[in-house]
Amino acid sequence: MMTRTSHSTVSFQRPFRLEGMDAAAPAGSYKVDLEEERLDTLTTEVWRQTAVILQIATAGVTEYLTVDPQALRDAILRDRNDSVDTAQPRETRQTLRLRRQ
């Protein structure tokens, strides 16, 4: 089965915390890897999201945390709604290429 990984960056204006994190991460930019696998179909090319991985680098150590895509989207929207720079949910989804599971 063929797999692919795409990379993007998300930015937070305020500290945030997601399920699975020991402590809140500081505001800043974070790398996100989206892993997908190709499904064997006869008619069209179809990819299924298998993992969303957030890279959190603190004190010289990088932690790779598999996160729920909806939880990450919600955290980004909360951060943007609390700050001056607001964004539409569709823009966030398009930027991250995250899909609801």
| Nearest in space to 4 (alpha carbons), one of 31, 39, 29 | 39
Residue 37 lies in a domain: yes
| Location of structure tokens 């797999």 | 3
* pLDDT per residue as tens, the chain (101 positions): 799 999 999 999 999 999 988 889 999 999 999 999 999 888 888 999 999 999 998 888 899 999 999 999 999 999 988 755 444 455 555 555 555 44
Residue 70 lies in a domain: yes
Q: In angstroms, rounded to a whole number, what is the distance separating the alpha carbons of residues 39 and 44?
A: 9
Residue 101 lies in a domain: no
| Location of structure tokens 């990819």 | 47
The pLDDT of residue 60 is 86
How many structural domains are present in the chain? 1
Angstrom CA distances, 69 to 35, 44, 66, 88, 90, stand at 12, 25, 9, 17, 14
Q: Provide the domain limits for residue 33.
A: 3-96
